[in-house]
Chain A
Amino acid sequence: MGRFLGSRLLFYIAAFMVAVTFNFVLPRMMPGDPFEIMFAAAQGKIQPEQMAVLKEQFGFVAGPWHVQFWDYVKGIFSGDLGPSLTYYPTPVTEIIAGALPWTVFLAGTATLISLFIGISFGIFAAYNRGGKFDSMVAPTLAFVGAFPQMVSAMLILFGLGVVLDWFPVGYGYNPDIDAGWTLAFFLSVAYHAALPLITMVITGIGGWLFLMRNSMINTLGEDYITMGKAKGLSTRRVMVNYAARNAALPVVTAVAMALSFVVAGALLIELIYNYPGLGNEMLGAVAGRDYPLLQGLLLIIVVCVLTANFLADLAYFWLDPRLRKQ
């Protein structure tokens, strides 16, 4: 067991180092640099001479690569990721701290809801396979889920947000209300999260449904299911305790992956609904060649993915006795 965990841990450390290096190199391989992008975005509002000042202000990204890389590595371990370029002089950590909770809340809630609904539907569809539910609801959800997320997001935004005007079309909450532990604030947050949540849930259910359904169907062919039925157990008991529990094993990996991508996965949704999360910041950082901010955001994603994978490894270890025997 110790050897297994030790080798996994080593693997994760190596993966972290590689990812961190890529985080540094990739943004810098994009054409153009932050100054030029700022200059271009201003379209003549900044005179060429003022470029010199920009370079002076952002001198920390204009130095030689090895110096920048060293600063970056030091920054990762000291928690000081430097100031952002597009939001100079605000520190990267402050921007991430402001955006992270929104993404975790939005994508986390959406994943949990679609997971719960999708898996319940999957169990039900598999158990009654060929029935009305299996042949109507399941394909419909698969169809909806096959839409690119941005298309469904825009349709929902336009329909429920703009035309019917039932829901707000931007922000995490009404900025006229002060954030705090008040009912008004929570209602506002829920109200503003409604459209993005609906979009993510209805596009997400289909995937879970089929994953669970297929895994269930395999399990349902096993002898112990027949035996359970023969013993005269209730349908519910056979369906949930005998079949679903065993079918859940492959789903665990998928859940771990899904949770690890919670941080990165809501990019388009956040963009379309102008939701104040990380994905939102990510696009701005890419467009503005905001190296420090981009590095910070990628770092968060790397950490989340690796942590979730490590937890999945541990869960497997706990769930699958064969691993423990080695």
Chain B
Amino acid sequence: MNRILLGFLSGLILLSPAAQAEERKKGGTVTGPVIANTLIENFNPYTQQAGANPARGFIYEPMLFHNTLQNKVEYRLAESHKFSDDLKTVTFTLREGLKWSDGKPLTTADVVFSHEMAKKDAKIDVVSLWTGDKPKLTGVEAIDDRTIKFTLAAPDSSVHGVIAAHYIVPKHIWSKEENHAEFRNKKPVGSGPLTEIKNFKPQQVIVCRNPNYWEAGKPNIDCLKLKQFKGNDQVQVALIRGEIDWGSNFIPDVEKTFVAEDKENNHFWYPAGPTVGIFLNTKRKPMDNLAFRQAFSMALNRPEIVDLATYGYASENPHITGIGNFYAKWYDDEVNAKYDYLNKYSPEKAKALLDEAGYKDTDGDGKRENPDGSKAKIEIMVVNGWTDWMQTVQMATEYLQEVGIDAQIRTMEIGQKIEKFKSADYDAGILWTDIGATPHTFYQNVLHTKGKGVALQANHGIHSEEMDSLLDEFIQTADLGRQREISSKLQAFFAENLMMIPIFSNPEWYQYSTKRFEGWPTAENPYVNPRFYDDGSRVLMINSLYQK
């Protein structure tokens, strides 16, 4: 009887189109790199070791995550989520029959337990849902075994992603522990595709399939082996020697050093990541003048910088509004048409603009002075050793000198640079920006007043109450149309004020080999952004891989 039932069930699974398309060969061990000095036997998902810690994403799966490339919500442990009309509560529904890897059922009791832990101990509250200056949640309540309702402190239409980023751990294991923040969880019981630690060494960890995984037939692979490497150069050697199946680091001249070794199997794909730009301190001369900032922007030859400083791996930002192709779905044609000229290399226009604004070479040293006759000298900060960015800044200073601006590169240590950005003790400096489900993340950190002294990107001196309230409103509405409207206003404000000069979008470094495994996200099949450190993305990626 049982056998008949099983046969029937598997028949059903075979009939469904998704399963038919994914009839894959099973087994195999995928090998990947981790950059660390040594691996640590710690599978606690609440400690920060992004990338290095397989607990995040592999052992514990999120309820859902936002797939930025597809711009949609990927449901994982949850099958749906729903906001109340007033955006004051959000309800998640878990999938049916979820189990922990030890076979015990995974229910909303585990969800409540995991959040109660965070409520009690700020150390567990890694995404600041319950504690901190501005808690996002006020209550959590299990409606039944599969339905759970969160009460929000303030309406926030983006909170579901943050709630889901708080990992769910098994109550029947974790409730026995006293100090959850220091619990090392050496024998994890998890919910993700890979839960069984087969082998742990400071140089490698092997984690194998969850026998009770919810997604039928997944993962296709048996195990994942993460190997420790000290830096990019060592990852590069391992990639070339075929010791690892993928890499996610900068490799100089990847075409020659990696792809050429095995043209058929070795590939790379560098989709656009966060925008990198030069922030200008508008509280100092001459950056206080908008015309100067516009001239700064037009003086730069961005295509050449991308080509030379980043080996062509970065993506040019087609527009000046701060956001790059990562957020392509949010571009506003009208805003772009108005400001795109600022993004184009035109030294003549830059010179004319500077002349007009009164920046002239009055003492005959070949460099322009401020309109009041004082020296207009600017230093652009960059972290010593971040070679692609050093090259970028070096080129930028040369372009600026061509139009008569006395710009110099200033290298320093990362700690010092952070200090200077936070305390607004700088002329200019190159910096990354943050990335999230919507452009809100980018503008929140650059434009919101409350980011001053907290976000590195915020202390440039240009803020407005209107933008603050628009940013607040953005997350308080679930109306996509309204969000687009706000996003356009933010883009326009950014382009109009240019507190930061966007240079390019940093690439997401990602190399892969199809020698042993297929199913990688590729430019042709971009089912997920290959950001290996991104917990949600890595689940989707690992579930799609299969042995050749």
A30, A38, A53, A274: the one contacting B229 at CB < 8 Å is: A274
A271 CB-CB contact with B under 8 Å: yes
Q: Given A45-B533, A90-B184, are A52 and B122 neighbors across the interface (CB < 8 Å)?
A: yes
| Residues A31 and B455 in contact, CB atoms below 8 Å apart | no
B89-97, B246-254, B427-435, B466-474: which lies at the A interface?
B427-435
Interface on chain B toward A: helix, strand, loop, or mixed SS? loop
| Residues B47 and A88 in contact, CB atoms below 8 Å apart | yes
| Residues A89 and B435 in contact, CB atoms below 8 Å apart | no
Kindly state the separation between the CA atoms of A138 and B122 in the bound complex, as whole angstroms.
Answer: 64
Which chain B positions have C-beta within 8 A of A51?
A: 454
Which chain B positions have C-beta within 8 A of A175?
A: 199, 201, 203-204, 227
Which residue of B is nearest A280, CB measured?
B37
| Residues A99 and B128 in contact, CB atoms below 8 Å apart | no
Q: How far is the CB of A217 from chain B (nearest CB, A)?
A: 44
B414 CB-CB contact with A under 8 Å: yes
B85 CB-CB contact with A under 8 Å: no
Kindly state the separation between the CA atoms of A232 and B201 in the bound complex, as whole angstroms.
Answer: 61
| Residues B48 and A46 in contact, CB atoms below 8 Å apart | yes
A36 CB-CB contact with B under 8 Å: yes
A284 CB-CB contact with B under 8 Å: yes
B196 CB-CB contact with A under 8 Å: no
Q: How far is the CB of B343 from chain A (nearest CB, A)?
A: 22
Q: List 10 tightest A-B contacts by C-beta distance, closest first.
A: A32-B415, A284-B37, A89-B182, A31-B415, A175-B204, A44-B434, A31-B416, A175-B201, A56-B122, A49-B128
Kindly state the separation between the CA atoms of A250 and B182 in the bound complex, as whole angstroms.
Answer: 51
| Residues B202 and A98 in contact, CB atoms below 8 Å apart | yes
- Name B residues whose Cβ lies closer than 8 Å to a Cβ of A: 36-38, 40-42, 44, 47-50, 122-123, 125-128, 131-134, 181-182, 184, 199, 201-204, 227-230, 234, 237-238, 241, 274, 413-419, 432-435, 441, 445, 451, 454-455, 533-534
| Residues B50 and A45 in contact, CB atoms below 8 Å apart | yes
Kindly state the separation between the CA atoms of A95 and B202 in the bound complex, as whole angstroms.
Answer: 10
15 residue pairs of the A-B complex, CB under 8 angstroms, read A31-B415, A33-B415, A48-B445, A48-B454, A49-B128, A49-B133, A53-B127, A88-B47, A90-B42, A98-B38, A169-B237, A170-B230, A170-B238, A274-B230, A284-B37
Which chain A positions have C-beta within 8 A of B48?
A: 38, 46, 50, 54, 57, 88
Which chain B positions have C-beta within 8 A of A98?
A: 38, 202
| Residues B50 and A162 in contact, CB atoms below 8 Å apart | no
Which chain B positions have C-beta within 8 A of A170?
A: 203, 229-230, 234, 238
Which residue of B is nearest A41, CB measured?
B414
A: number of interface residues (CB 8 Å): 49
Which chain A positions have C-beta within 8 A of B38?
A: 87, 95, 98-99, 276, 280-281
| Residues A48 and B230 in contact, CB atoms below 8 Å apart | no
Which chain A positions have C-beta within 8 A of B49?
A: 87
B184, B230, B241, B419: the one contacting A31 at CB < 8 Å is: B419
A234 CB-CB contact with B under 8 Å: no
B414, B415, B434: the one contacting A47 at CB < 8 Å is: B434
Which chain A positions have C-beta within 8 A of B229?
A: 170, 274
Which residue of B is nearest A290, CB measured?
B37
A171 CB-CB contact with B under 8 Å: yes
Which residue of A is nearest B240, CB measured?
A162
Kindly state the separation between the CA atoms of A87 and B202 in the bound complex, as whole angstroms.
Answer: 12
| Residues B202 and A53 in contact, CB atoms below 8 Å apart | no
Q: Given A57-B47, A90-B184, are A30 and B415 neighbors across the interface (CB < 8 Å)?
A: yes
Q: How far is the CB of A47 from chain B (nearest CB, A)?
A: 7
Which chain B positions have C-beta within 8 A of A268?
A: none
| Residues A53 and B419 in contact, CB atoms below 8 Å apart | no
Of residues 69 through 95 on chain A, the ones whose CB sits less than 8 Å from some CB of chain B are 83, 86-90, 95
Most A C-beta atoms less than 10 A away, residue of B134, B203, B432, B433? B203
| Residues A46 and B50 in contact, CB atoms below 8 Å apart | yes
Kindly state the separation between the CA atoms of A20 and B533 in the bound complex, as whole angstroms.
Answer: 38
| Residues A53 and B415 in contact, CB atoms below 8 Å apart | no
Of residues 241 through 297 on chain A, the ones whose CB sits less than 8 Å from some CB of chain B are 271, 274, 276, 280-281, 283-284, 289
| Residues A48 and B451 in contact, CB atoms below 8 Å apart | yes
A18 CB-CB contact with B under 8 Å: no
Most A C-beta atoms less than 10 A away, residue of B44, B48, B441, B455? B48
A37 CB-CB contact with B under 8 Å: yes
Most B C-beta atoms less than 10 A away, residue of A44, A49, A87, A95? A44
A39 CB-CB contact with B under 8 Å: yes
Kindly state the separation between the CA atoms of A98 and B38 in the bound complex, as whole angstroms.
Answer: 10
